[in-house]
């Protein structure tokens, strides 16, 4: 029991994608679906396109997990309190003592069909982890990728700049992001989105530092392990600017 507590304490910082699904929100006539709805949960094996293919597949005997959820559609409040912009800047009036927060959603526009003036400064950078292949690395099966935004390359072990957005339930900034771990998969299709609030002035020294680590479910008792029994695989660097562009 003590060993289980120790391993759970060590591994609780990591997450593993398990299953996913899709649930309808509208009836054929366009009205909202409310109340309890049922659906099948599929094991995550690849990209979102794979999920669509599985849902549309008529293959018999496919193993799924039955799921259900309750959908309730209500009119939004007329007044949202304690609002934060997409860059986590408070909008007055704002009471920091209250725990409730309302975060604005970042709108991505691809056309000028409905132009409007820019009234806020937004300089966000989105970084997506998509595919990883570590078949040539020894003992690299449960891989986690730590991403840090570095001001320079003086010390790769230094903390990153605290400009990485937290998850959807957080209004704080982080100095690093750790990807989901894919158990016993040397060629995972990853689904991580990392949102970064870029500094006002970005230089050629700024870069993303990626650290690849094998996460041992139960660390072997041997020298050479790093980070509480985990095994370092390697590093990579993503530059943000080239020739000042």
Q: Residue 218's Cα: distance from chain center in Å?
A: 25
pLDDT (0 to 100) of residue 237: 94
pLDDT (0 to 100) of residue 114: 65
Structure tokens, 181: 């771990």
pLDDT (0 to 100) of residue 115: 65
pLDDT tens digits in sequence order for the chain, 245 residues long: 777 777 777 787 888 888 888 877 888 888 888 888 888 888 877 677 777 777 777 677 778 888 888 877 777 777 777 888 888 888 888 888 888 888 888 776 656 666 666 666 778 899 999 888 888 776 778 899 999 999 998 888 899 999 999 876 676 889 999 998 888 888 888 888 999 999 988 999 999 999 999 888 776 665 545 455 788 888 999 998 877 77
Domain residue limits, the chain: 2-71, 77-107, 124-239
Rounded CA-CA distance 125/167 in Å is 15
Alpha helical stretches, state H, the chain:
2-11, 48-56
pLDDT (0 to 100) of residue 188: 84
pLDDT (0 to 100) of residue 177: 94
Neighbours of 191 (CB within 10 A): 17
pLDDT (0 to 100) of residue 242: 79
pLDDT (0 to 100) of residue 128: 93
- Range 124-239 has CATH code 2.60.40.150: yes
pLDDT (0 to 100) of residue 207: 95
pLDDT (0 to 100) of residue 23: 79
- Burial code (b: 16+ CB inside 10 Å, e: under 16) for 14-24 equals eeebeeeeeee
pLDDT (0 to 100) of residue 118: 67
Q: Please, what is the Cα angle at 122 between 146 and 207, to 5 degrees?
A: 35
Taking Cα atoms as reference points, which of 99, 77, 94 lies closest to residue 172? Answer: 99
């Amino acid at each position: 029991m003590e060993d289980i507590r120790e391993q759970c304490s060590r591994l609780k910082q990591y997450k593993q994608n398990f299953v996913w699904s899709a649930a309808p929100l509208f009836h054929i006539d366009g009205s909202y679906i409310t109340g309890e709805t049922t659906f099948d949960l599929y094991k995550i094996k690849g990209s979102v396109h794979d999920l669509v293919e599985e849902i549309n597949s008529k293959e018999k005997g496919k193993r799924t997990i039955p799921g259900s959820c309750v959908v309730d559609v209500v009119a939004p409040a007329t007044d949202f309190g304690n609002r934060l912009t997409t860059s986590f800047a408070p909008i007055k009036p704002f009471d920091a003592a209250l725990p409730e927060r309302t975060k604005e959603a970042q709108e991505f526009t691809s056309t000028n069909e409905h132009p409007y003036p820019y009234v806020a400064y937004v300089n966000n950078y989105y970084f997506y982890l998509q595919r990883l292949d570590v078949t040539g690395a020894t003992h690299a099966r449960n891989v986690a990728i730590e991403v840090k935004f570095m001001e320079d390359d003086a010390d790769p072990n230094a903390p990153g700049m605290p400009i990485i957005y937290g998850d959807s339930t957080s209004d704080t900034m982080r100095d690093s992001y750790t990807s989901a771990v894919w158990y016993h998969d040397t060629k995972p299709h990853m689904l991580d989105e990392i949102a970064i609030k870029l500094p006002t002035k970005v230089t050629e020294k700024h870069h993303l530092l990626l650290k690849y680590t094998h996460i041992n479910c139960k660390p072997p008792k041997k020298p050479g392990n790093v980070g509480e029994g985990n095994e370092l695989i390697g590093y990579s660097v993503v530059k943000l600017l080239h020739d000042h562009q």
